[in-house]
Amino acid sequence: MSILHTDEQKQIGEGALRFVQDNYSGTNLKELLEATGRYDEAYWQACRDMGWAALAVPEQYGGLGLGLIEFNIVAEAVGRAVAGAPFLLTSYAASQAILLAGDESVRSEVLPLLASGEKIGALAFAESADPVPADLTVKLASDRITGVKRAVLGGARADIAVTLASRDDKAALVLVDLNQKSVTRELLSTYDNSRGFADIVFADAPARLLTDVDADKIAWDVLDRVAVALAAEQAGGADVCMEMARDYANTRHAFGQPIGKFQAIKHRISEMYVANQIAKANCLEAALAFTSGSPHATSLAAAARISAIKAYDFAAREGIQIFGGIGATWESDMHLHMRRARSSAAVFGSRFIWEDRLVAELEAKR
């Protein structure tokens, strides 16, 4: 295991980049933006065909047995495409939750379905902006849950959700089949519609207990890994914004010269590059930390998450500024990034949450 990518990892990256470049432009995403609950079916099919859904699932459960490093490589590529479905990430999240919280029977039953893409997974932890609520309103009693989970990423389409509920005031992680009568989804029309956000209403729905021991700690362990994968996606998007701004600054002329000659423009693009490099470095180090079991994994995950949020926000916001008026039109792809930067920043805990988590972790290690 090394900080430099192996030949196999490079191949995964090149394959993913080529696929994304050949197949994706912003055009199809704009249609999805104007519809509630729709997503890019062909893209999700491709994720299955390319084996990406199987990437980080252990081999004994039908996966490819690779880790977060390889998943990051793919996530960065699909982040570049502002991919029109979140299921690669949400199924990864669900599989990690099952690996960390589930016993052998649930693993061997469910993980192969997630690896093949036959089922789509999601995480239903949050009930508001807090990714792991202390005062859970979704209740578990006699293996049935009741309550509402708000704005579940991929909830519009997911088949199963690893759900955080409370039983006798104690947190538990349960696995719930979302395709049953006692579960309803309320599709949300958001500013980033292809992410399939939905409120999920459980009305005495049968649920399978994964664990009720340290469930909220495990929920955070899952989120640490998801934060890194999402950060890699965000970094990919941030890189595209930087590249678009750079290419535009090299060709657009004003006042008799390419606008990239003006330091107000070129320095901002350099700043984007620097922020993106920092974010990608932290993503890599965090992925290595989880793979090697480093005690700094949580801190590094938070570092990756915060860096990626800031980098993508900055690149999208200032990228539009460099394009000027044309960057603020529907036709430009820049607003796709602005939307995705924000929706990715808000899901699974905002920057504030991760800053608190990071500092708490640093303090505990002092």
Q: For binding to other proteins (CB under 8 A), which residues are involved?
A: 2-4, 246, 249-250, 257-258, 260-261, 263, 266-267, 269-271, 273-274, 277-279, 281-282, 284-285, 299-300, 302-304, 306-307, 352, 354-356, 358-359, 362-363, 366
> In the complex, what is the shortest distance from the CB of residue 361 to other proteins, in angstroms, rounded to a whole number?
10
Q: How far apart are CB 14 and other proteins at their closest, in Å?
A: 17
Which one, 191 or 273, has the nearer CB to other proteins? 273
- Measured over the CA atoms of residue 171, residue 172, residue 173 and residue 175, the dihedral's sign is negative
Nearest to 342 by CA among 134, 169, 191: 191
Q: Which C-beta is closer to other proteins: that of 304 or that of 346?
A: 304
CB of 348 to other proteins, least distance (A): 16
Whether 48 and 55 have beta carbons less than 8 Å apart is answered as no
As measured in angstroms, the least distance from the Cβ of 234 to other proteins is: 14
Indicate the residue among 2 and 105 with the shorter CB distance to other proteins: 2
The rounded distance, in Å, linking the Cα atoms of 227 and 308 is: 10
Q: Closest approach of Cβ 218 to other proteins, in Å?
A: 23
Compute the distance between CA of residue 327 and CA of residue 334 in angstroms, rounded to an integer. 6
Q: Between residues 156 and 304, which has the closer beta carbon with respect to other proteins? A: 304
Minimum distance from residue 299 beta carbon to other proteins (Å): 7
List the structure tokens of 169: 């005031």
Tokens for 76, please give them.
């960065």
Judged by beta carbon, residue 27 or residue 134, the one nearer other proteins is 134
Alpha helices in the chain (DSSP H): 7-23, 27-33, 41-49, 68-80, 87-101, 104-116, 215-251, 263-292, 297-323, 334-346, 351-364
- CB-nearer residue toward other proteins: 4 or 181: 4
CB of 295 to other proteins, least distance (A): 14
Q: What is the DSSP letter of 5?
A: P
Closer to other proteins at the Cβ: 7 or 135? 7
Q: Which is nearer to other proteins, 29 or 301 (CB)?
A: 301
3-state SS string for 6-66: CHHHHHHHHHHHHHHHHHCCCHHHHHHHCCCCCCCHHHHHHHHHCCCCCCCCCHHHCCCCC
In the bound complex, what is the minimum distance in angstroms from residue 220's beta carbon to other proteins? 16
Q: Which amino acid is at 155?
A: G
Identify the H or E element spanning 141.
Answer: strand 139-141
Measured in whole angstroms, the distance separating CA 315 from the mean position of its chain's CA atoms is 18
